[in-house]
Structure 1
Amino acid sequence: MFSYLAAALPAGASPATRLIALQCALRMNASMRVSLSLGLLRSLRLGGNPSPWQELEQARWLCLTPGRETGEVAAVLLDDALLGQAPTRPDRCHAADWAVRAGCPSRAGVLGPLLQVVSVYLTSHSHPETGQGLNEADRTARECGIQPAELPHVLEQLAALGLLDSWRIAADTEDLGWAMRSPQ
């Protein structure tokens, strides 16, 4: 889904916009409709900010619709390519819930949207048993919506928060290797 979003969203889309787009893509139904509760958005620390929604509408990626309930934001997604990107709805909903937990670990305190996006990305690309991962550094940066030069700074922040045990960008191959911190 990160690869799809990197191609579908404008290059300058904010991390908050990417977080919302990820949740929308994973939670949409077969009619490409989605509703996100305000509680979910608050847990992502995106509750009252209309900017990410406006970015997604300006990119013609979604169109906001009146919510069925007052405690939600509803939209219809406009990119038919999404239907070919995602596994079955139960699997996507499970992944969406997992992404919320992976992006908002309790020991991280108040992660901003950028750190949440990168944390979810690294966790989703890590070996489930060892927590280790390997990927091209420039691909990681592109799929997280940041410039390659920003990646080391973001990784340092994740390490300082205790989410990453270690990371390294190989000088010869420019591959990023990392080890996620094991939950205590």
Structure 2
Amino acid sequence: MLLALTRDRSGRAWRLADTCAACAAATSNTAVVPDTLSGSLRPHASPGPPPPARRSHAGVQERERVREMLTYLGTALPRFTSPAARLLAVQCALRADTRAHVRLSAGLLRGMRLRQNRDVWLELAHAGWLELPDVRTLPWQVRLLDATVLDQAPGRRTRCRAADWALRPVPLVLPATAPALRLTALVLAAHTGARPEHSTDMDILTRLCGHSPQQTGELLDRLVTTRTLRAWHHNRETDAVFWQLPQPQARTPT
């Protein structure tokens, strides 16, 4: 298709339209508009996946959203809120709409093993953080009582992507296991950067997980045992916790 400029018989009006080369040649008083230099050098959009740099940037944004939400919930929820309740609160807060309403599908509830766990919902309801949902209908409709959730940024679509990342926090993805271990892995993943060794304060780690330092150390040992972590160390002088991820295994030639 070409961009053609056609003049009417009086010469006082012009019409710009897309047409094929044959039609442009057969139409009188018509000239083809040539491509400009900037247009000829403009790269064509690729239908394929985004480049790796863009994908990694999106992962960084999702990690930041989850880290911010974990930090907020570390102060909004009672000190020793259970790990299962914290995992549920992360999903509800990130998926809430502008009226603080959340719709939770049956698949999401089954994947988090929360559909039959009424104690977790009661825990957040007793803390005044949400209203108990009507479990007779699906998807579950939940209303959050935390007004701060309404002031979240960025938009809901971006936050929903962060909620999905929180279910599979790369690079510390764990199979279905105890909520305490999954929450610890999520907090570590939210504080994992591009360096070979990663760190945060033990106080931050215990506050976001709702554990004591001794419990946190035991959970970190279990992550090493399951090879989710390569190693970890607590510097008691600075109170910093350092951890290393397993090295990716190189492929052996067949």
What TM-score results when the alignment is normalised by the length of structure 2?
0.65
Identity of aligned residues (%): 38
Q: Give the SS at the match of 2:75.
A: helix
Deviation at 1:56, TM superposition (A): 0.8
Aligned residue in 2 for 1:88: 155
- 1:15 pairs with 2:83: yes
CA distance in 2, matches of 1:124, 1:58: 28
Q: Which residue among 166, 170, 187 is the counterpart of 1:121? A: 187
Aligned residue in 2 for 1:178: 243
Aligned residue in 1 for 2:169: 102
Question: CA offsets per residue over residues 23-70 of structure 1, 9 Å max, x none?
Answer: 001111111100212211221233311111111111110013447x93
Structure 2: runs of 5+ lacking an equivalent: 1-68, 250-254
Deviation at 1:133, TM superposition (A): 2.0
CA distance in 1, matches of 2:125, 2:162: 24
Question: CA offsets per residue over residues 79-104 of structure 1, 9 Å max, x none?
Answer: 11123344321111011000101288
Deviation at 1:12, TM superposition (A): 2.2
Count how many residue pairs are aligned between Structure 1 and Structure 2: 180
Q: Check 1:65–1:43 CA distance in 2 against 1; reply closer, same or farther (3 A cut).
A: closer
Amino acid at match of 2:115: G
Q: Check 1:46–1:8 CA distance in 2 against 1; reply closer, same or farther (3 A cut).
A: same
What TM-score results when the alignment is normalised by the length of structure 1?
0.88
Deviation at 1:182, TM superposition (A): 5.5
- 1:6 pairs with 2:71: no
Structure 1: runs of 5+ lacking an equivalent: none
CA distance in 2, matches of 1:61, 1:180: 35
Q: Check 1:72–1:181 CA distance in 2 against 1; reply closer, same or farther (3 A cut).
A: farther
Q: Give the SS at the match of 1:177.
A: strand
Within a 5 Å distance, the mapping from 1:135-154 to structure 2 comes to 135-154=200-219
| Alignment RMSD (CA, Å) | 2.1
Q: Check 1:84–1:132 CA distance in 2 against 1; reply closer, same or farther (3 A cut).
A: farther
Q: Give the SS at the match of 2:117.
A: coil
CA distance in 2, matches of 1:89, 1:131: 32
Aligned residue in 2 for 1:134: 199
Amino acid at match of 1:141: T
